[in-house]
Chains A and B, each alone.
Chain A
């Protein structure tokens, strides 16, 4: 059995909100093949109805409700002088409660072959009777679920949850974010959330998918601002939000999804998860400031690099692992081991990412980090190299045109720098894997180890 909530905003005092599509998405992402969807209104002024979604008919229904329980009929419920313990913002809504009595607050829908069983003209409505407001319906799905490979289903769940979240956002923010999301991305952080969420005794796939999607939205929100800060024109082969739609839009899109992600995390209602993610977000922002400040001393040194990368990249990896485990009520030692695993993996991932900047087969323009003076471990090691170091440092101290960038790239690839970075990244991954040795992972160790090793053995 899977439980969840359908959340939506209403915009009128009386409104028939067609929630059929939202329920279909829930059925699809749950993998329910044959069974039932139980719906329950969580409000005394929201009813449920199954009927035809034809605008004139909906107006007829509205008029019928108004005739049966007119707004101005005079309701004892609205006589506040005779009521006790009413809040200061108590609405005058006796008519809405009476109208709800004429509807139902519950509905059970059948599911067959993974699809809602509805007649050709049937739609499911949440009937707002005292809006506009934020509303919730409780939802439970039970029956036979698909026995697909768990990993594949989890990936689908993330994508469906991301699509569902973007579907309800206003176009000016959703369109650029969708473009960024659809361009790819490894979804490593949400995968880590989902895997870690299976470790403790209480695994809830839908809550884990919500948290995983929030983490991915948060990550992409930071990328939108990063691209403006770094003056990047392209990401994942497409124009950045700042380049395509201007800095003002990029700031608004980043802020919107920063806020939305924190809201989704807060709505999960696990205080430790909320605090863990908030700490990570703060670490990311502080590290971004350090990163930009260090560009004055480009290419920097190993200690500064680690400090920045730990905040900028590893903090969210660590938080993803820890928060997933916290969500499933995993024991504290398991949470902390996973947090350390994520931290080490995040640093290794960033080192591998730095190496991609020197790989012609990556699909990205070679030398972008050099041009943007982004902190990069291969550059730090090349600058320390006895033979190429002096020339690298001299070039990096001056202005960086195409010729200089090409020459620095050549010097880095001809030196020992890339091998050193690769060795260090693989060493960190093995250290991360060792963190998993002492804890009970319910059969998930091979998957986590596989993700960790593939994160550093990549060319793009």
Chain B
């Protein structure tokens, strides 16, 4: 992903890049080789934003303070838009189901499979 595109996608979330988002992004980048080359960075960023967003919100743990929750919400929304513009329908649906699963488990006080594992699996979804 070129610098301008990355900057646009990180608007208001720039601070997160140095706080773990870049490492998470790189980890997902290694798992998207089956997708079209131009889509790979966007899908990896979407997955990274979801993982970081959920962590920021404190989903399944202690609730984040309001301002941090809103940052987490924006991460999820940005990821959703990246997926809407770049992912297949099957991948979009699989990502949504992964978040549904994690949040339902959190609401029930039950453990969930690791988010990264779920999202890597979602990235391989086919119709």
Contact = CB atoms under 8 A, between A and B. Distances in A.
Partners in one complex: yes
Interface of A: 169-170, 172-173, 225, 228-229, 246-256, 258-260, 262-263, 266-267, 269, 271, 274-275, 277-279, 281-282, 284-286, 288-289, 292
A251 B59 CA distance: 7
B123 to A, nearest CB: 15
Interface string B79-105: 011011100010011001111101110
A275 B92 contact: no
Contact of B74 (A172, A259, A289): A289
B73 A170 contact: no
B12 to A, nearest CB: 6
Please give me the 4 A-B residue pairs with the lowest Cβ-Cβ distance, nearest first: A263-B96, A247-B63, A259-B99, A278-B84
A286 B60 CA distance: 24
B77 A281 contact: yes
A252 B107 contact: yes
Contacts of A282: 74, 77-78, 80-81
Chain B contact patch, size range: 35 or more
Contact of A251 (B63, B77, B83): B63
Contact of A255 (B62, B92, B103): B103
A255 B100 CA distance: 7
The interface residues of chain A, by DSSP majority, are classed as helix
Given A278-B80, A281-B81, A282-B78, A269 B66 contact: no
Interface of B: 12, 54, 57-64, 66-67, 69-71, 73-74, 76-78, 80-81, 83-85, 89, 92-93, 96-100, 102-104, 106-109
Contacts of B54: 255
Given A262-B80, A263-B100, A289 B108 contact: no
A228 B69 CA distance: 9
A358 B61 CA distance: 38
A229 B103 contact: no
B26 to A, nearest CB: 24
B1 to A, nearest CB: 18
A304 to B, nearest CB: 16
Given A172-B107, A282-B81, A274 B92 contact: yes
A201 B84 CA distance: 25
A263 B103 contact: no
Given A170-B107, A256-B100, A266-B92, A248 B76 contact: no
